[in-house]
Structures are given as C-alpha cells and as structure tokens.
Amino acid sequence: MKWPIESKLNGILVLVAVIPVWEFISRAELVNPLFFPPMSKILQSFFLLVLSGDLPYQILLSLKRAAAGYLLAALVFIPLGVVMGLYPWVYRLLEVVIEMARPIPPPAIVPVAMLFFGLGDEMKIFVIFFSCAWPILLNTYDGVRNIDRLLIDTARTFGLSRRRMITRVVVPAASPQIMTGLRVSLAIMLILVVISEMVGSTDGIGYFILDAQRRFKVDQMYAGMLSLAIVGYALNQLFFLSYHRFLAWHKGLTGVDPA
C-alpha cells in the first residue's frame, strides 16, 4: 500500500504525537519544566479548571464583551458602509477622517478607552468596536460600490422604492464582501478582547492567562491558552457554517464558492 501522502490523517497523527513529545521534553528536563510543564499536568489542570467552571466563566465573560463590541460595530458600520457606497459625497466627506483614524494600531486605543470608561466592560467593548470598524466599513463600502450597475438600473426600472432597493438589491449583492469584512473582524475581535483584558482588567480569559503567568501557575497558563485555541477554532467554524448558510443562494447563483 502506498503511503497516503495527502491524507488529513497525517496531520492529526502529528497533532496527537505532539502530546507525548511534549511530555518527554518536559520530563527529561530538556527545557526547564518550570516553564514547560508536562502535557499531562497541563491537560489535568485544563480539565479541573473546566469542571470547576472557572475557565468557562472567564471565557464567557470575554465572549460577552467580544460579542457586544463586534455586533455594535456591525450594526453601525455596515449601514454606514452602505450609505458611503451609495452616495459618493458621503464617502468624500468622511474619507480623510477615516484615513486618519485607520492607521492607529488598535492597542493604542486601549489607554484612551481606559481613560473614558475605566476598567469595566465598556472599555473592552469600545476597543473592540473601534478596531472591528475598519474591515467591516471598508469591505461593505467596496462591496456596495462594485455592485453591477445593471442590477440597480433594473431595480429602478421595476420601480422599487429606495428602501426596498437597499434591502432587496444592494445589501444582498454586497453581502459576499460584507461577510469578508465580518470574517476579518472576527479574528481582530478575539485579539483585541485578549489585549484589553491583559492591559486593563481583573477578569476574562486574557487576564486569566497573564495572571496565571505572573503567579507562576504555568500549567494553568497553558490550560488557558488551550481553551483560547479551542474557542478561536470553534468561532471560525461557526462563522463558516453560518457563512455557507447565508450565502448558499450566492453559491447557487454563481456556481462558485465565494469563500
């Protein structure tokens, strides 16, 4: 039998093999086990933390903040992007302000947010809102601007009202690009919730990881990272699922997978 070179099984085998290799490196003290505890110990504290509800609680806190900022950004910036795409004068009015604010690296906003909102949830929500804004706004704008003129003209010919035109023609036609913006923002959202919790917070998964490191509970730190990897993976998968659901019509229409 030939070795199945392109099988996904290979990768999963490697992933599984990491566990004993890690265990060995740590037990043999090839790397200081103080920094690099055995995988068995990490997994043990991971399960303990999950069962005690500690880790799920911290993750839930973080996800709550993340979701609030993300949804708020989508709620504000998708409509704004649509308006900017439909009315070039709105875009021209806002262009300079946007181009000035966009290059600010999101972490630089954290101190400003702390100044205004303290260390509470609002601060993180604002930071996430701000940093998710640009991909959503600019992708929506791009999507709307690049809609086939024919679509809009046809809708006009059929006498669609402005409102129906936007909800029935413009937004659906731009939705693949809007989704792209939302997908980019999803990764940014997760990064920023962790950053804001590391810099200014007393709870949440970002704080948990950094705090575990500072208290030298290294196994708990790795357990926190493991949970974060799982959450990130799950969020991505969830997004793809809903993506294909929402855009199934698009795929059927064009015969290409928009992803």
Only segment of 109-117, 162-170, 173-181, 250-258 that touches another protein (CB under 8 A): 109-117
- Residue pair 137/177 in contact (Cβ under 8 Å)? The answer is no
Query: Is residue 72 classed as helix, strand or coil in its secondary structure?
Result: helix
Using CB under 8 A, pick the residue from 1, 28, 108, 256 that binds another protein: 108
> With binding defined as CB under 8 A, does residue 256 bind another protein?
no
Using CB under 8 A, pick the residue from 19, 48, 83, 94 that binds another protein: 94
In the complex with another protein, which residue's Cβ is closer, 169 or 179?
Answer: 179
CB neighbour list of residue 204: distance below 8 Å, 6 or more residues apart: 58, 61, 62, 65, 124, 193, 197
Using CB under 8 A, pick the residue from 123, 137, 209, 223 that binds another protein: 209
CB of 112 to another protein, least distance (A): 7
- Residue pair 185/128 in contact (Cβ under 8 Å)? The answer is no
> With binding defined as CB under 8 A, does residue 106 bind another protein?
yes
CB of 66 to another protein, least distance (A): 10
Closest Cα partner for 78 from 161, 147, 141, 148? 141
CB of 12 to another protein, least distance (A): 5
> With binding defined as CB under 8 A, does residue 107 bind another protein?
yes
Only segment of 143-151, 155-163, 173-181, 231-239 that touches another protein (CB under 8 A): 231-239
CA distances from 101 to 44, 116, 148 (A): 45, 18, 30
CB of 62 to another protein, least distance (A): 10
- Residue pair 157/183 in contact (Cβ under 8 Å)? The answer is no
Using CB under 8 A, pick the residue from 1, 2, 11, 159 that binds another protein: 11
Using CB under 8 A, pick the residue from 182, 221, 223, 247 that binds another protein: 221
**Helix H or strand E segment including 94:** helix 88-101
> With binding defined as CB under 8 A, does residue 240 bind another protein?
no
CB of 127 to another protein, least distance (A): 11
CA 245/CA 3 separation, integer angstroms: 36
Closest Cα partner for 63 from 195, 189, 187, 188? 189
CB of 47 to another protein, least distance (A): 18
> With binding defined as CB under 8 A, does residue 194 bind another protein?
yes
Closest Cα partner for 64 from 107, 114, 124? 124
CB neighbour list of residue 186: distance below 8 Å, 6 or more residues apart: 70, 235, 236, 239
> With binding defined as CB under 8 A, does residue 150 bind another protein?
no
- Looking up tokens 């946007």 gives 98
CA 215/CA 221 separation, integer angstroms: 10
User: Which residues here bind another protein, judged by CB under 8 A?
Assistant: 3, 5-8, 10-15, 18, 35, 89, 92-97, 100-101, 103-112, 114-116, 187, 190-191, 193-195, 198-199, 206, 209-210, 212-213, 218, 221-222, 224-225, 228-229, 232-233, 235-236
